[in-house]
Each structure stands twice: as structure tokens, then as C-alpha cells.
Amino acid sequence: MAMGKINQERREEILSAALRIAENGGLAAMSMRAIGAEVGLTPMALYGYFASKDELLDWLVGRVLQEVPLPDPEADWRERLLACARGARAAAHRYPRTFSVLLNRPVVLPEAMRVVDPLYGALMDAGIPHERVAGWERMFSTFVLGFAVSEVSGRFGEGNLGTRERRERLGPRELPAHHRLGEVLDLPVDWDAEFEEGLTRLVAMVEAEGTGPA
């Protein structure tokens, strides 16, 4: 940037505008021109706040991370882990078209550390050896982000509509296991319950490795 003080409030305003545009219209609609118009500026004025659109997207990761609430530090470490996970998934549901930037871009922001820090704290309090805390945090956040992104990107399937007919187009020779399972695959899915089940398993695994409160 090579720039002196710049108006931080205005920068936040620009990022919120970008987020708004991405949520109605999709990420593709989030052009510099559209963002500029949303805040009443020429597209070129944005280059006073961000060196490029790519840098703006990096900051947008931080803007989305701000929407993940921090857990109550007084709570049990289990409660803190659950609160972080549920808060992140809730943010994904709130910003379904933008959330995937979290998995697609290298995270090199203070905001990322702000969100990771309570996870480190909870894992230490669970008694995880210090040299293994970062690895557990990666497991935990990979599950949470992976699940949330899969949900909102539609990778898990949009309510299984049409799944049955697609399955039958290929036949039991190509898809033996699908056909053995049959109509069980068309059952509705309780995504909340599935997420909570995964979380419960993870917390149990942390508990098993931990040696009790530090």
C-alpha cells in the first residue's frame, strides 16, 4: 500500500458492503465497481484502502471471522469448544455464499488468531500436551469448516432431490453399494444432529487424550 493513516471506519464500511453484495448476488457479483457503488465511491477510490481485489478478499476473510463469537472464558473447556464450533457454523448459515473464502484463502490475519486462541486455551485446559495442541486445533477446525462449507456449498446435496433417479441411471453394476443401500439413501437428513454427533465424538476424543485440567 505504501500509505499513511487511512480511515479505518471507511475500510470496515467497504468490507461490509462487499459482504452484502456477495450475499445477494453471489461472489461473482462482488466487483470493485459494485462495491464502490454500494458505498458511494468510484471503483478507483477502493485502491486507497486495498492494494488489489485479492487483498480486499483477504480482509474479507477477517470480516467474516469477526462474525464468529468468542466463547465465555469462564465456561468449561467442553462448552468453549462447542460454542466455537456452533458459532462458526451459524456464521456459515448467515453468510452461505461468502463463507467458503475461509477454506480457500491462506489465513494470515490477526482475526484468525483471535478465533483460534480460545481453541488453544480450551485444548490446554483439557490436558492436551502442549506440542499437540495445534494439531488438535487443526483437526477440530477442519471438521467444523469442512462440514459448514459442505453444507452451504451444496456438496452434501440439496435435500437429496433427484438423487434416486440419478442413482438408477447408472445401475447396480457401476454402483453396487448404492443399490444395496437403496431407498435408505433417500431418507431426510437432520443436519443439526449430524453436526452435533461429529462434535460429540471430537470432544470425547480430546477428553480421552487429555490428562485432566492443567
Closest CA to 90 of 113, 111, 67, 62: 67
Closest separation in Å from C-beta 50 to DNA: 8
If one asks whether residue 5 binds DNA (CB under 7 A), the answer comes out as: yes
If one asks whether residue 134 binds a copy of itself (CB under 8 A), the answer comes out as: yes
Closest separation in Å from C-beta 44 to a copy of itself: 21
Closest separation in Å from C-beta 20 to DNA: 15
Please list every residue from 40 through 99 that binds DNA, using CB under 7 A.
Answer: 40-45, 47-49, 52-54
Distances (CA, A) of 154 to 53, 61, 91, 160, 195: 26, 20, 16, 10, 15
x/- binding map, residues 56-95, to a copy of itself, per CB under 8 A? ----------------------------------------
The long-range contacts involving 36-40, CB below 8 angstroms and separated by at least 24 positions, are: 39/10, 39/13, 39/14
Distances (CA, A) of 10 to 2, 16, 18, 210: 18, 10, 12, 45
Q: Which does 170 bind (CB under 5 to 8 A by kind): a copy of itself, DNA, none?
A: a copy of itself
Contacts of 21 (CB under 8 A, 6+ apart): 29, 30, 34, 35, 38
Closest separation in Å from C-beta 18 to DNA: 10
Q: Is 86 helix (H, G, I), strand (E, B) or coil?
A: helix
Instruction: List residues binding a copy of itself (CB under 8 A).
Output: 100, 102-108, 110, 113-114, 116-121, 124, 130-131, 133-135, 138-139, 142-143, 145-147, 149-150, 153-158, 162, 166-167, 169-170, 174-178, 180-181, 184-185, 187, 189, 194, 197-198, 201, 205
